[in-house]
């Protein structure tokens, strides 16, 4: 039943891209990491940008959903970020797996420091899967906005190149993990991190590509 309800919701979202309003959510998790790192302006700014430039009708109010809560099935797209530890118990891992295999989508954005923790926890969710690096040619980089070199660099931390990784389940991209890019910080008001307007817009455009891909172009191809 959950699968049917979520699939119906996703189909409605696609066919009514600019009609009925729907919501996206920030994921709250346990383990001590700051899931709330970009709470105030990050997703709200992305939502406003997408509504204005893609013609989406996403509710301007972001929701917060706990990873083990059944209400996660109400959201076709959820976003997870933070700097430190994340811990999923068995129930949370199973709930997230059911959500993703039923048609939901998770975007994980490394806010610097989450990498070793999130990789281990996602192994609990999909022990049979490994993160696959997405090449610059992947469609997610070529939606409304073209990023010929792939994932853009927004904030510098360790002089590492930005990378985008995906988890594919039965041919569908169910999870995107953006590493060493810091998209979520770039979505925030520029004053918070002293970002240039150009960098802010670059982050928003990549975020808009993710939203467009999830709702309109997530092909069943690995």
CATH architecture of residue range(s) 2-217? 3-Layer(aba) Sandwich (3.40)
pLDDT in tens, 160-190: 899 999 999 999 999 999 999 889 888 998 7
Print burial letters for 58-78: b (CB count within 10 Å at least 16), e (below 16). Answer: beeebeebbbbbeebbbbbbb
* pLDDT of 15 higher than 50: no
pLDDT in tens, 62-115: 999 999 999 999 999 999 998 778 999 999 999 999 999 999 999 999 977 789
* pTM of the shown model: 0.89
Query: How far is CA 137 from each of CA 16, 60, 171, 180, rounded to the nearest angstrom?
Result: 28, 31, 17, 19
Cβ neighbours, 10 Å, residue 162: 20
Distance CA 106, CA 167 (A): 10
Q: Where do the domains of the chain lie?
A: 2-217
pLDDT in tens, 206-221: 999 999 999 886 544 4
Distance CA 162, CA 160 (A): 7
| Dihedral (CA of 18, 78, 8, 143) sign | positive
Average pLDDT over all residues of the chain? 87
């Amino acid at each position: 039943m959950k699968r049917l309800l979520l699939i119906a919701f996703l189909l409605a979202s696609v066919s009514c891209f600019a009609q009925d309003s729907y919501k996206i959510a920030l994921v709250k998790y346990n383990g001590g990491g700051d899931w709330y790192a970009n709470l105030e302006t990050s997703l709200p700014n992305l939502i406003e940008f997408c509504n204005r430039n893609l013609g989406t009708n996403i509710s301007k109010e972001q929701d917060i959903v706990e990873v083990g809560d059944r209400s996660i099935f109400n959201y076709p797209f959820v976003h997870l970020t933070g700097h430190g530890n994340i811990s999923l118990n068995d129930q949370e891992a199973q709930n997230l797996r059911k959500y993703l295999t039923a048609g939901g989508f998770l975007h994980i954005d490394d806010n610097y420091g989450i990498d070793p923790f999130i990789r281990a926890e996602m192994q609990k969710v999909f022990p049979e899967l490994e993160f696959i690096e997405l090449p610059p040619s992947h469609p997610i980089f070529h939606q409304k906005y073209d990023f010929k070199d792939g994932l853009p660099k927004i904030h510098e931390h360790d002089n590492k190149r930005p990378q985008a990784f995906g988890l594919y389940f039965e041919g569908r991209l169910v999870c995107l993990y953006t590493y060493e890019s810091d998209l979520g910080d770039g979505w925030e008001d520029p004053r918070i991190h002293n970002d240039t307007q150009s960098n802010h817009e670059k982050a928003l455009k990549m975020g808009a590509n993710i939203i467009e891909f999830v709702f309109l172009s997530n092909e069943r191809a690995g």
